Structure 1
Amino acid sequence: MVLDRMRDFPSCFGENGVQIADNSSYSSVGLSKSPHNLVTCIYQCKLLGKTCLIVLSWTKSLMGYCLGVEVNDLAGQCVCRVDVKPSLFHKRKGYKCLQVNAGKIDVFWDLSLAKYGSGSQPLEGFYVGVVCKGEMVLLVGDMRKEAIKKANAVPSLFGSVFVSKREHVFGKRVYKSRVQFSDNGKVHHLVIECETIGVNDPRLVVRLDSKIVMQVKHLRWTFRGNQTILVDGLPVEVFWDVYNWLFGTTFGSAIFMFQTCPRTEKLWASQTLDPSEPPWPCLLNSRESKSSDPGFALTLYAWKNE
């Protein structure tokens, strides 16, 4: 499917989706016209008796690394937020108790042994935990035993679901990321390749773990579209928009979305692309869905380093 409107991009998974705003995350890291190395992850959790969304924002800039932990309700309203800024990162671990109307939320983190790759999100040697009423409602990282001991908490009966990841990636021809399409699934190495400079008939190649899973030829005619691939037995819908790479007159990124939610026919909704206000995937309201699984979406903003 190729749409006539060139600057529209998906903003929700269904007509009854819930919009997830990201303005606070961007303002806190100072993103304006130029992109930062930013990874934002959204988890759906049960908190204080209600379903909520916990947003982790990992940022890398000239000042160093920054972590933002934000709790939103399903209306997209921020309930509370913790920012670990670069100037405070000499501690690299800490604890914050946040008072909210319905009780308190405790946030624990330890990045003192964190190991990073080329991006802003640590790969290992860290944990970030959110605790409420003695339950660890969210635990991210590989130091799980240390986190539970430090927080003196037990795992939540409801657990958490990783529903969305958005990442800014940079390169001249090759763009890389890591993706896990289900909570217990394999972590895949994702590579997108596209050469647009000096090529008469550019094509797009997507690889998972070095295996080609998708090719788009004649990209000047198919600069925007979608295709379904199979990953770990799951159908994954891939959407792409490379208009800025081919025809853009200003600095802009191509955008790719990989999403497992079955209701993809409603995915394309009007929204102007603006790096300072990027489109957010929406979570399908579980009350309107036949399944309680909200699915998972990875959105990549691919910026060319000329």
Structure 2
Amino acid sequence: MHDSIGIPACFTSSDQRQADEPASVGRSGQSVFMSVYRTKLAGQCRLITVTWCRNLLLHGLSVSVQGPDGDEHYRCKVELKPWYFWRKQGSKHFIVDGRTVDVVWDLKAAKFNGETEPRSDYYVAIVCEDEVVLLLGDQKKDAYRKTGCRPSLIEPMLVSRREHIFGKRKFSTRVKFNDKGTFHDISVECNNCISSNSSSDGFDPVLEIRVDGKVAIQVKHLQWKFRGNESINVGKSGVEVFWDVHDWLFGSGPRHGLFIFNPIPSSSVSPSSISAPSSPPTSSWTSMPVSNQEVNSASGDYDNAAGSSKFCLFLYAWKVE
């Protein structure tokens, strides 16, 4: 069944969204989770972006496929309004380089647990040429039975994830840094401590980044160290953490802090434990803004060193009063 489905307001055109993504999300106040996968579709290796969007009135799901020039030319949008229960199951299709791509979903029993992205009891399948090239969710058997298609011979790879989260002081998420790893709980919290320094108006903000409940990074005197980066160990993996909270401290209106978690080869990170606060950062990131392009470039260097693609998490933490 092919539905005529409305377009959630949080999904703009590809070019506009890429150019002004944080600003548009901040104005709308909508939680947005974007996951980018690399797989083979329509005869080429392409990036597929799956975006979940949530506000007070609806859940939205968008699937976009990278075009031949590296842009997202092909897009499918699904609007999930609570009073249209039949729209929680269905399919849509679009054409990629002359080949039909079907997006099939079943969210009738999906458990969101108050989050933007479902946790369990659902599937979203992307099908091309009788192959399920990407399958999300835990109801895999139901997805293959519904589509009648075989699994792809190429395993999709999660390349990056962007999360826009709104809160007052603490921001939390769950993430796997590799396909075979386990989920880790990550939280970011900014606290105002009392300071005897009169120049700081009595407040000395402290940033804490926790992994699985343990302090991984603690940054004191945040008004002077609002940008930085540091390497930590998460399980058996090394992770480079970047932060930029300039707008938290000095901005006005809707403002976000940016936190980037970039896995690195084990040989490139010095041994450290997340059981104790890390030492203050000493790098060029403390004196320059965090740029997605710069981090993507760094990620590319890690890819080459490791000989495989690495996952990268971008966490936009939006403070609301």
The normalised TM-score by structure 2 is 0.76
1:94 CA drift (Å): 0.9
Structure 1: distance between partners of 2:284 and 2:153: 33
Task: Please list, as runs of the form range in 1=range in 2, the aligned pairs for 1:72-91 lying within 5 A after superposition.
Answer: 72-73=66-67, 75-87=69-81, 90-91=86-87
The reply to whether residue 115 of structure 1 matches residue 111 of structure 2 is: yes
The reply to whether residue 190 of structure 1 matches residue 198 of structure 2 is: no
1:112 CA drift (Å): 0.7
Pick from 25, 34, 42: which aligns with 2:28?
Answer: 34
Identify the residue that residue 128 of structure 1 maps to in structure 2: 124
In terms of fraction of residues, the more helix-rich structure is: 2
AA matched with 1:216: V
Deviations 1:39-67 (A, max 9, x none): 11111111122110111110111221010
Relative distance call for 1:178 and 1:289 in structure 2 (3 A) is same
1:164 CA drift (Å): 0.9
Relative distance call for 1:236 and 1:24 in structure 2 (3 A) is closer
Contact in 2 for aligned 1:136/1:155 (Cα 8 Å)? yes
- Secondary structure of the residue aligned to 1:253 is strand
Relative distance call for 1:116 and 1:194 in structure 2 (3 A) is same
AA matched with 1:299: F
Identify the residue that residue 276 of structure 2 maps to in structure 1: none
Identify the residue that residue 56 of structure 1 maps to in structure 2: 50
Structure 1: distance between partners of 2:110 and 2:253: 37
Contact in 2 for aligned 1:109/1:129 (Cα 8 Å)? yes
Task: Please list, as runs of the form range in 1=range in 2, the aligned pairs for 1:104-253 lying within 5 A after superposition.
Answer: 104-196=100-192, 200-253=203-256
Contact in 1 for aligned 2:248/2:256 (Cα 8 Å)? yes
1:250 CA drift (Å): 3.4
AA matched with 2:165: V
Q: Could you list the runs of 5+ residues in structure 2 that have no partner in the other structure?
A: 1-13, 195-201, 270-282
Structure 2: distance between partners of 1:272 and 1:183: 27
Contact in 2 for aligned 1:261/1:296 (Cα 8 Å)? no
Relative distance call for 1:234 and 1:152 in structure 2 (3 A) is same
AA matched with 2:146: K
Task: Please list, as runs of the form range in 1=range in 2, the aligned pairs for 1:7-18 lying within 5 A after superposition.
Answer: none
Relative distance call for 1:35 and 1:26 in structure 2 (3 A) is farther
Contact in 2 for aligned 1:175/1:192 (Cα 8 Å)? yes
1:207 CA drift (Å): 1.3
When structure 1 is superposed on structure 2, of 209-218 and 60-69 the one drifting more is 209-218
Structure 2: distance between partners of 1:226 and 1:165: 19
Identity %: 36
Structure 2: distance between partners of 1:303 and 1:43: 25
The reply to whether residue 257 of structure 1 matches residue 251 of structure 2 is: no
1:216 CA drift (Å): 1.4
1:114 CA drift (Å): 0.7
- Secondary structure of the residue aligned to 1:147 is helix
When structure 1 is superposed on structure 2, of 75-84 and 133-142 the one drifting more is 75-84
Structure 2: distance between partners of 1:295 and 1:74: 23
Task: Flag the structure with more relative contact order, 1 or 2, with Cα contacts below 8 A and sequence separation at least 6.
Answer: 1
Structure 1: distance between partners of 2:69 and 2:229: 29
1:302 CA drift (Å): 0.8
| Structure whose CA Rg is larger | 2
Relative distance call for 1:200 and 1:272 in structure 2 (3 A) is closer
AA matched with 1:305: V
Pick from 47, 53, 64: which aligns with 1:70?
Answer: 64
Give the length in aligned residue pairs: 279
Deviations 1:223-267 (A, max 9, x none): 000001111311111000111111113321111010115599999
CA RMSD in angstroms, aligned pairs only: 3.3
The reply to whether residue 299 of structure 1 matches residue 302 of structure 2 is: no
1:292 CA drift (Å): 5.1
Structure 2: distance between partners of 1:25 and 1:124: 32
Identify the residue that residue 11 of structure 1 maps to in structure 2: none
Runs of 4+ displaced beyond 6 Å: 24-27, 263-268, 270-273, 278-281, 283-286
Contact in 1 for aligned 2:76/2:93 (Cα 8 Å)? no
Contact in 2 for aligned 1:134/1:154 (Cα 8 Å)? yes
Identify the residue that residue 103 of structure 1 maps to in structure 2: 99
The normalised TM-score by structure 1 is 0.80
